[in-house]
Structure 1
Amino acid sequence: MGVDYYNILKVTRTATESDIKKSYKKLAMKWHPDKNISVNDKVAESKFKQISEAYYVLSDPKKRQIYDLYGEEGLKSGLNDDMGVANTKPGSRFRFDPRDADQIFEEFFYGADSGRGVTGLDLKNIKKAETVENKLSCGLEELYKGSKRKMQISRIVLDDTGKPGTLEEILTIHIKPGWKKGTKITFPEKGNQEAGAAPGDLIFVIDEKPHDTFKRDGNDLVFTKRISLLEALTGKTIKVTTLDGRNLVVPITDIIKPGHEEVIQNEGMPISKEPGKKGNLRIKIDIKFPSRLSSEQKSDLKRVLGGNRGDD
Structure 2
Amino acid sequence: STDESKFKEITEAYSVLSDDKKRREYDAYGQAFPGGAPRGGQGGPQGFGGFDFNGFQQGFGQGGAEFDFGDIFGDIFGGRGGQARTPRGRDISIDLEIPFKDAVFGTNRTVLIAKVSTCSLCRGTGAKAGTELETCKTCNGSGRVHEMRNSILGQFTSVRACTACDGTGKIPKEKCTECKGHGVLRKQEEIKINIPAGIDNGEMIRMPQQGEAVKTGVAGDLYVKIHVKPHPVFRRDGSNLTMNLSVKLSDAMLGTTVSVETLEGKTLEVKIPPMKRAEEHLRVAGKGIPVEGSRGDLIIRLEVALPHKLSSKARKVVEELKSEGL
Q: Specify which of 284, 287, 312 is matched with residue 304 of structure 2.
A: 287
Q: Specify which of 169, 180, 196 is matched with residue 176 of structure 1.
A: 196
CA 1:163–1:297: 2 relative to 1, 3 Å = same
Contact 2:278 2:301 in 1 (8 A): no
Are 1:155 and 2:142 matched, yes or no?
no
Partners in 2 of 1:166 and 1:220 — Cα distance?
A: 44
Are 1:134 and 2:151 matched, yes or no?
no
Q: Deviations over 1:180-215 (max 9, x none)?
A: 222322223432357999744211122211223211
**2:50 match:** none
Are 1:212 and 2:232 matched, yes or no?
yes
Q: What stretches of structure 2 of length at least 5 have no aligned partner?
A: 1-73, 119-123, 127-180
Are 1:188 and 2:152 matched, yes or no?
no
Write out aligned runs for 1:291-302 (5 A).
291-293=308-310, 297-302=314-319
User: Could you tell which deviates more after superposition, 254-263 or 294-303?
Assistant: 294-303
* Greater Rg by CA: 2
Q: TM-score, normalised by structure 2?
A: 0.50
**2:270 match:** 250
Partners in 1 of 2:270 and 2:78 — Cα distance?
A: 75
How many percent identity over aligned positions? Answer: 25
CA 1:239–1:118: 2 relative to 1, 3 Å = farther
Contact 1:144 1:243 in 2 (8 A): no
Q: TM-score, normalised by structure 1?
A: 0.52
**1:203 match:** 223
Deviation of residue 292 (structure 1)?
A: 4.4
Contact 1:187 1:202 in 2 (8 A): yes
Helix, strand or coil for the counterpart of 2:244? Answer: strand
Write out aligned runs for 1:52-71 (5 A).
none
Contact 1:258 1:286 in 2 (8 A): yes
**2:285 match:** 265
Are 1:114 and 2:78 matched, yes or no?
yes
When the two chains are superposed, the root-mean-square deviation of aligned CA atoms in Å is: 3.4
1:188 partner amino acid: P
Helix, strand or coil for the counterpart of 2:321? Answer: helix
Partners in 1 of 2:96 and 2:82 — Cα distance?
A: 38
Deviation of residue 164 (structure 1)?
A: 6.3
2:106 partner amino acid: G
